[in-house]
Amino acid sequence: MADTPVLAQIAPPARRITPTMPVALAILFGWLMVALTAPLIAPYDPDAIDIVNMLSPPGAAHWFGTDQVGRDVFSRVLYASRVDLLLCFAGVLPPLLIGTTIGLLSGYFGGVVDNVFMRIYDLTVAFPFFVLVLAIVGVLGPGLLNFILALALVGWVSYARLVRAQVLTIRESEYIQAAKCLGYPPRAILSHHVLPNAVGPVIAYAVSDAVLVMLAGASFGFLGLGAQPPLAEWGVMIADGQAFVQQAWWICLFPGLAAISLGLGFALLGDGLGQIQRRGVTA
Amino acid sequence: MSLLQLIARRLLQLIGVLAGISLVTFLLVHMAPGDPARLLAGERASAETIAAIRSQYGLDLPLWRQFLTYLVNLLSGDIGQSLRFQRPVSQLIEQFMWPTLFLTVYVICLAIPPTVALAILGARRPGGIADQIIRLVGIAGLTIPVFWLGIMMSRFFGVSLGWFPVSGYGTGFTGHLHHLFLPAMSTAIWLVPVLTQSLRAALIEKTTADFVTAARAQGATERQIFWQTMLPNAVLPTLNLLGVMVAFMIGGAVIVETVYAVPGLGTLMVNALLGRDYYVVQGLTLVFAVSTVLITLLVDLLTAFIDPRVRF
């Protein structure tokens, strides 16, 4: 199967990257480095309680100040990036894989499978996304794992819908007809001809989806339904600081800015990829 | 297809979707770990009490019979009983829905004018400087966590400047307006970028439409084309925005109401989730989904009513 010749080698149209994409990549790379090296670059233990220095404002000793039990906010923001980055991947990948598979099969074969899928899609989008995820997590019980599970249960439909739409147009193209005439089995056609041509918009969507997943993850942490304290996670940190925001604004401010910057990285990259996709289609 | 036929077909579809929604909400509670009878009876109930409750609530029946009972109850307006409040969920919803409705209308009023203005500004010269700036600011706006924005705004405008109350619902119409300003503003700031993007795209699509070319060929100035030809055609996309907004606003309301302690459906939902009051969660999920579906349907029908070409 692996040595099936690739017939779909159409010269790709000229694709320019948007000026914001290097910025986006730099932000994402920066956060990835921070997450990987957090134990090396964090000045304090993120969970070390220091009653003497609690609620101290940002300064030379504590760049982002300390929280209500004297934990260093800067170190916690750095450590939290591990949780939030992991959350993005764990929240995006399962729906992407499940959705792409179902979308491929549904679009290519049509028939009953396709019909059943479309009904499931109609039903899922009838619910407000956030409420459905919220309800599932509420019923399964709070926690990061249940949050990711709920995302996978709800999120795959958008990917499947997107891939299905791609496949419907690809299915009719001449190179697929050619592959069929040459007698390739459906599995080879799907994996070597349909998938590579359908995957672009999916990647662009997934990167934008990461913003949504990160914000949802932080929101769930904030509501007490996602990551559980004392684990350092941006949403949890903001929730912790909310009661003290009058005296100590820094506990809330910095995790929020961190979330915005990571979100900006994903959003700008997703936007750039989306533009390349659109240009590629019209070119 | 005539409008009546369209309505008939959509209502038929609606019945299917509603049945699906009730099935999902029914299964939702059955996904919960643990024994529902024990939950109803309380932690320290004896085995006999649990058995009695199990037969009283029909929990010993097969699943499809339970679903049938649930459906029949729904049709008679009974969407369950809160374990914590010991009151029907429908009563709770009636009590908590007003702040949420007020907030929703408030957000729409705050979000629509800037959305339309920004979208027009961006769409007049796609790819121009204004368009690029609006797009980038919009992308940045999308990445702001709503709850964080809420906390920061309440800290600054509420506590430091003392302009607005930071929690509650207030009394009387002006009281509501005053109390809900910050919650509505937080939601609007986050909603405007989403809406602007979708309206801008719809407007730009019109710039390449044949009727624009025709108007230009007839010698209309660009200004006339924009105000007289393109803008009236933007009414429908704006209307469709409302449909897009509902699901977003319900999700946003849940978080924003929690931050500002607004006694609305979102707060009720979060408290029910944290307190494991499953039937309230079930009832609210059902109500949220049904409202989303109904509003989408309404928008679709209105669109078809205004523009006959959409009646397919």
pLDDT (tens digit per residue) in B258-278: 888 889 999 999 998 888 888
Residue A266 pLDDT class (50, 70, 90 cuts): very high
Residue A86 pLDDT class (50, 70, 90 cuts): very high
CA distances B86 to A227, B55, B92, B96, B176, Å, are 30, 19, 10, 16, 29
Q: What are phi and psi of B84, to 5 degrees?
A: -80, -45
A58-91 b/e (C-beta count within 10 Å ≥ 16 → b): beeebebbbbbebbbbbbbbbbbbbbbbebbebb
- Asked if residue A230 has a cis previous peptide bond (ω within 30° of 0), the answer is yes
Let me know whether B114 and B261 are in one domain.
Answer: yes
What was the pLDDT predicted at B120?
A: 84
Residue of B nearest to A241 (CA): B151
Is B241 touching A (CB cutoff 8 A)? no
- Tell me how many domains chain B contains: 2
Euclidean distance between the first and the last CA atom of chain B, given in angstroms as a whole number:
6
Q: What is the pTM of this model?
A: 0.85
Is B70 within a domain? yes
Are A129 and A154 a contacting pair, CB within 8 Å? yes
Which range (A2-16, A212-226, B8-22, B82-96) has the least confidence? Answer: A2-16
Residues of B with Cβ-Cβ distance to A129 under 8 angstroms: 247, 251
SS3 state at B253: helix
Domain boundary among B23, B46, B75: B75
Let me know whether B144 and B273 are in one domain.
Answer: yes
Let me know whether B226 and B273 are in one domain.
Answer: yes
Domain boundary among B75, B98, B117: B75
Query: How many CB atoms lie under 10 A from the CB of residue B5?
Result: 10
Average pLDDT over chain B, rounded to whole? 84
Residue A14 pLDDT class (50, 70, 90 cuts): very low
The whole-angstrom distance between A177's CA and the closest CA on chain B is 31
Q: What are phi and psi of B102, to 5 degrees?
A: -60, -50
Let me know whether B162 and B263 are in one domain.
Answer: yes
Are B107 and B249 a contacting pair, CB within 8 Å? yes
Q: What are phi and psi of B88, to 5 degrees?
A: -60, 140
CB within 8 A of A84, min separation 6: which ones? A214, A217, A218, A233, A234, A259, A262
A129–B255 C-beta distance less than 8 A? no
Query: How many CB atoms lie under 10 A from the CB of residue B146?
Result: 24
Query: How many CB atoms lie under 10 A from the CB of residue B312?
Result: 6
Residue from A119, A129, A215 to probe the interface with B (highest B Cβ count within 10 Å): A215
Let me know whether B67 and B104 are in one domain.
Answer: no
Nearest Cα residue to B28 out of B286, B282, B272: B282
Burial of B208 (0-12, 13-18, 19+ CB in 10 A): exposed
* CATH fourth-level superfamily of A20-37+63-282: MetI-like (1.10.3720.10)
Would you give the distance in Å from CA B243 to the centre of its chain?
9
The helix or strand, by DSSP H or E, that contains position B102, with its residue range, turns out to be: helix B89-124
Nearest to B251 among A131, A139, A271 (CB): A131
Is B133 touching A (CB cutoff 8 A)? no
What was the pLDDT predicted at B310?
A: 63
Is B68 touching A (CB cutoff 8 A)? no
Query: How many CB atoms lie under 10 A from the CB of residue B269?
Result: 30
Is B12 touching A (CB cutoff 8 A)? no
Are A204 and A19 a contacting pair, CB within 8 Å? no
Let me know whether B41 and B126 are in one domain.
Answer: no
Let me know whether B57 and B162 are in one domain.
Answer: no
Let me know whether B41 and B186 are in one domain.
Answer: no
A244 pLDDT above the threshold of 50: yes
B159–A246 C-beta distance less than 8 A? yes
A112 pLDDT above the threshold of 60: yes
Q: Where are the domains of chain A?
A: 20-37+63-282
Measured at the CA of A154, the angle between CA A151 and CA A156, to 5 degrees, comes to: 90
Share of residues in chain B with pLDDT > 70 (%): 97
> CA A113, CA A111: separation in Å to the nearest integer?
6
The whole-angstrom distance between B130's CA and the closest CA on chain A is 16
Q: Return the higher-pLDDT residue of B295 and B41.
A: B295
Is B146 touching A (CB cutoff 8 A)? yes
Let me know whether B43 and B139 are in one domain.
Answer: no
Is B284 within a domain? yes
Is B166 within a domain? yes
Let me know whether B71 and B93 are in one domain.
Answer: no
At B222, the amino acid letter reads E
What was the pLDDT predicted at A162?
A: 92
Residue A30 pLDDT class (50, 70, 90 cuts): very high
CA distances A270 to A92, A96, A212, B51, B179, Å, are 13, 15, 12, 55, 37
Is B113 within a domain? yes
The helix or strand, by DSSP H or E, that contains position B267, with its residue range, turns out to be: helix B265-274
Are B33 and A141 a contacting pair, CB within 8 Å? yes
The runs of H, that is alpha helices, within A127-249 are 129-140, 144-171, 174-181, 186-189, 195-223, 234-242
Are A184 and A90 a contacting pair, CB within 8 Å? no
A222–B145 C-beta distance less than 8 A? yes
ipTM computed for the complex: 0.84
Let me know whether B264 and B155 are in one domain.
Answer: yes
Q: Which residues pair with A72 in a beta bridge?
A: A66
Token pair 């199990």 is found at B54
Is B293 touching A (CB cutoff 8 A)? yes
Which CATH number is B130's domain given? 1.10.3720.10
Which range (A31-45, A152-166, B172-186, B278-292) has the least confidence? Answer: B172-186
Q: A170-219 pLDDT, tens per residue? A: 888 888 888 888 988 888 888 888 888 888 889 999 998 999 999 999 99
Nearest to B152 among A137, A235, A253 (CB): A253
Q: Which domain holds residue B49?
A: 2-75
Residues of B with Cβ-Cβ distance to A224 under 8 angstroms: 274
Let me know whether B44 and B114 are in one domain.
Answer: no
